[in-house]
Chain A
């Protein structure tokens, strides 16, 4: 029996390069979505769709950046003590790490004609320009979104044809040769992942690279991720790694970091995701629902209400029919 595998997507490592989107399109031979600009951010993909199975979200935040975010000063000792969180990003061969926002900008200018600090004491600091000031109050959150392959999947339970099934790897797979394009899974997915391509008439979504898994390969997006933001592996190992990463981030001064949907305790509605995430803000910011639930989990009440309704309807019809009976 093959192991259950999945994705752990660490949003703190994502640099928004979209290599995962490209790799997914290329390996799965998906058609393009037309070339257009959304005009809202660097995210010109917009959302997951029938022919977009990975999507990098670009969240622009005007407030304070996360510690170290947006600056390669990470991983060095801070003045007040403690470490910046992203040690792996320190440029190599530098006596001190540089910062695009501060160290490279002309904050220190020697006066013309003088010979620098030795003659006239410390150099005169020059204030940051308006653009740099604005940038220093600005940060990105990036997240590569994908089908979550829920432990209890809304699309799978809603599918009227049985076209959607659970594979031996624990992923949720739509069989294109069975799908009849009823569109029920599109509405049943609490994450808005599944989509029907109108040219094609069938529902499509990420397959967790079922063909690659069968061949013993890593899914294309995880293979191509240059920063290991997308990690692929057996679920139990991934969960262990993810929890360690959260602890590491907490120790390094990012108390906001948390896991989204790693098990049933954190997401009872789906009983845990096979593609879970490390986030640094509310789920809504990344366009993820805060408390998603597979609709079938709540449907028994609805069937009962229907039964009560139609039984009373039948009773009313019988009463009406017998009350006007002529013999």
Chain B
């Protein structure tokens, strides 16, 4: 019956509707898969700008998200306590990628340095570093692709080269790093003829060179957002992430030791990098401290907990490393390595969680900008303006028109 009505509606006015029994009878037009548009395919075409948006019926989507609110405070107005920014949509894959990418990049740097220094017995260290770097590159690419809303389109990142987008730059860096570290790892694994070995060694140096930006750019990636914690710590974050990557790379060799001089390289670097990371995590709080509300996100909630855990892990690992006998005790080295890895992992998740918390808090954005950390800072940066890169001109416009209908 309903089907007949729907057809009658489309072809001719249904006579029964005009003078139905008991007043006018309304038939609900059949919906397009119940997606919330209420557009009948007989009556309308789905051609609007938002018509391509895929939408499942609300029941499949689950309950609507509640609007997060901050408590009222007459002194600092907000809009019903609602967030001013959108919370980052990234899931656990992104902080996990920061960890694996930093680990892989720093391993390649270690391997490259050892390869350049050369010396007796260092080959096993170089080989291990190359393997970890290549494995980390593969894991990183997998994590990055898994986080995309449309994973099938991950190659769209490589259709342009855009210096204004740290994520685009990072994709190119990771691609170069993946290629170099893969070739270098193959050179270590396979018995290759001499010219190909030379190529693999060259790739090892290339991986180290690409690994340098790989360990640091993730900090720039976070800093290039409106999220208060990340934007206000934009000078510390990249350096912190770089040294954190080195801590995790050194920790790998504590956990999975190689015989020869490699252990000592890793231990020395680990000590220095842990100290630097601890100092930089203090600097992170200081840089964010211009607006107390922003710094609050680094101390409270899940982010604060993870960051405290990270600092504890670093301190504990350093203490164990400095106490006498650390060089010989195998168990203790393993504990140091595990603490280093867990600490750096907690650091990435902590920084991301603190950023999310600060994005949810409207007052973090307001206070930061009222404290002169918004556009007022550009005046200082005018001395070092973003150069007009190909793809984006001074006005922030596309200097070429990919896809723009004319």
> Which residues of A are at the interface with B, using a C-beta cutoff of 8 A?
27-34, 36, 38, 40-41, 43, 46-47, 50-51, 53, 57, 59, 150-154, 156-163, 165-168, 175-176, 178-184, 186-204, 207, 209-211, 214, 267-271, 281-282, 284-311, 313-314, 316-318, 320-327
Contact string against A for B residues 164-191, beta-carbon threshold 8 Å, 1 for contact and 0 otherwise: 1111100100000000000000000000
Q: Are B375 and A268 in contact (CB under 8 A)?
A: yes
The interface residues of chain A lying within 8 Å CB-to-CB of B90 are 183
**Neighbour of B398 across the interface among A160, A165, A309, CB < 8 A:** A165
The answer on a CB contact under 8 Å between B78 and A184 is no
How far, in angstroms, from A1 to B106 measured CA to CA in the complex? 50
Asked if A194 and B86 sit within 8 Å, CB to CB, the answer is yes
When distances are taken between beta carbons in the complex, the residues of chain A under 8 Å from B61 are 34, 198-199
Whether A289 pairs with B366 at a CB distance below 8 angstroms is yes
The answer to whether B239 and A152 have CB atoms under 8 Å apart is no
**Distance of B105 from chain A, by nearest CB (Å):** 9
The yes or no answer to B19 lying at the interface (CB within 8 A) is no
A309-B234 Cα distance, complex, nearest whole Å: 13
A166-B398, A182-B148, A320-B269 known; A308 vs B264 contact (CB < 8 Å) = no
Q: For A310, give its contact among B67, B154, B216, B406 (CB under 8 Å).
A: B216
- Top 5 A-B pairs, shortest CB-CB distance: A181-B149, A269-B375, A201-B149, A291-B374, A29-B48
Point out the residue from B58, B114, B215, B392 that lies within 8 Å of A313, measured CB to CB: B215
Docked complex Cα distance between A96 and B114 (Å): 91
Which residues in chain B, 191-222, are within 8 Å of chain A measured between CB atoms? Answer: 208, 212-213, 215-217, 219-220
Residue of B nearest to A161 (CB): B156
Question: Across the interface, which residues of B come within 8 angstroms of A158, CB to CB?
Answer: 164-167, 224-225
- Whether the Cβ atoms of B239 and A32 lie closer than 8 Å is no
Contact across chains for A288 and B150 when beta carbons are under 8 A apart: no
Report the minimum CB–CB distance from B347 to chain A (whole Å).
15
Q: Are A292 and B374 also in contact (CB < 8 A) when A47-B82, A161-B156, A313-B212 are?
A: yes
Which chain B residues border A152 with CB–CB below 8 Å?
A: 395-396
Rounded to whole Å, the gap between the CB of A63 and the closest CB of chain B is 10
Instruction: Tell me the nearest residue of chain A to B105, going by C-beta.
Output: A310
> Shortest CB–CB separation between residue A168 and chain B, in angstroms?
7
Minimum Cβ distance to chain B for residue A61 (Å): 10
Cβ-defined contact, A306 with B49, below 8 A: no
Cβ-defined partner of A306 (8 Å) among B48, B119, B219: B219
Asked whether, in the complex, the Cβ of B225 is within 8 Å of the Cβ of A162, the reply is: no
Docked Cα-Cα span, A281 to B77, in Å, equals 10
CB-nearest residue of chain B to A43: B80
Report the Cα distance A40→B219, complex, angstroms.
38
Partner of B226, one of A189, A196, A327: A189
Q: Is B56 an interface residue (CB 8 A)?
A: yes
Option from A157, A161, A302, A318 in Cβ contact (under 8 Å) with B396: A157
Best-buried of A151, A160, A204 by chain B (most CB within 10 Å): A160
- Are A314 and B109 in contact, with the CB atoms below 8 A? yes
Nearest residue (CB) in A for B394 is: A152
Residue from B53, B164, B171 within 8 A of A157 (CB atoms): B164
Chain B, range 347-363, C-beta contacts under 8 Å to A? 359, 362
Considering the chains assembled together, what is the distance between the CA atoms of A43 and B69 in angstroms? Answer: 14
The answer to whether A187 and B359 have CB atoms under 8 Å apart is yes
Point out the residues of chain B lying under 8 angstroms from A162, CB to CB: 159-160, 162, 391, 398, 402
Task: Identify which of B9-17, B31-39, B132-140 touches chain A.
Answer: B31-39
Query: What size tier do the contact residues of chain B reach?
Result: 35 or more
Which of B21-29, B329-337, B378-386 faces chain A? B378-386
- B223 pairs with A293, CB closer than 8 A: no
Looking at the complex, which one of A199, A209, A299 makes contact with B49 (CB distance below 8 Å)? A209
**Are A197 and B54 interface neighbours, CB within 8 A?**
yes
A-B Cβ contacts below 8 A, count = 386
Interface bits B124-155 vs A (CB < 8 Å: 1, else 0): 00000000000000000000000111110110
- Residues in chain B near residue A300, CB distance under 8 A: 381, 384-387
User: B64, B117, B151, B381: which contacts A297 (Cβ < 8 A)?
Assistant: B381
Complex CA gap A40/B78 in Å reads 13
Q: Contact partner of B366 among A41, A50, A290, A298, CB < 8 A? A: A290
| Cα distance A314–B207 in the bound complex, in angstroms | 13
Q: 6 additional contacts, CB 8 Å, given A199-B53, A287-B79?
A: A40-B67, A158-B165, A180-B153, A293-B369, A294-B396, A306-B220
What residue in chain B is nearest A188 (Cβ atoms)? B225
B223-A299 in contact (CB<8A): yes
- Are the CB atoms of B50 and A199 closer together than 8 Å? no
B110 lies within 8 A of chain A by Cβ: yes
24 contacts between A and B (CB under 8 A): A31-B50, A31-B55, A38-B67, A38-B80, A151-B395, A166-B397, A180-B157, A184-B225, A189-B86, A194-B86, A196-B89, A209-B49, A268-B379, A290-B374, A292-B375, A295-B223, A296-B386, A297-B375, A298-B234, A300-B385, A301-B234, A301-B384, A321-B122, A325-B118
B48 touches A214 (CB 8 A): no
Taking a contact as CB atoms under 8 Å apart, the answer to whether A313 and B243 are in contact is: yes
User: A287 to B113, Cβ gap below 8 A?
Assistant: no
| Minimum C-beta distance from B128 to chain A (A) | 14
Contacts of A326 in B (CB 8 A): 119-122, 261
Q: Which residue of B lies closest to A181 (CB)?
A: B149
Residues from chain B with a CB closer than 8 A to the CB of A165 are 398, 401-404
A150–B226 Cα gap in the complex (Å)? 14
B residues in contact with A176, CB < 8 Å: 52-53
Q: For residue A167, which residues in chain B have a CB less than 8 angstroms away from its CB? A: 404
Contacts A51-B53, A162-B391, A302-B235; is A195 near B86 (CB within 8 Å)?
yes
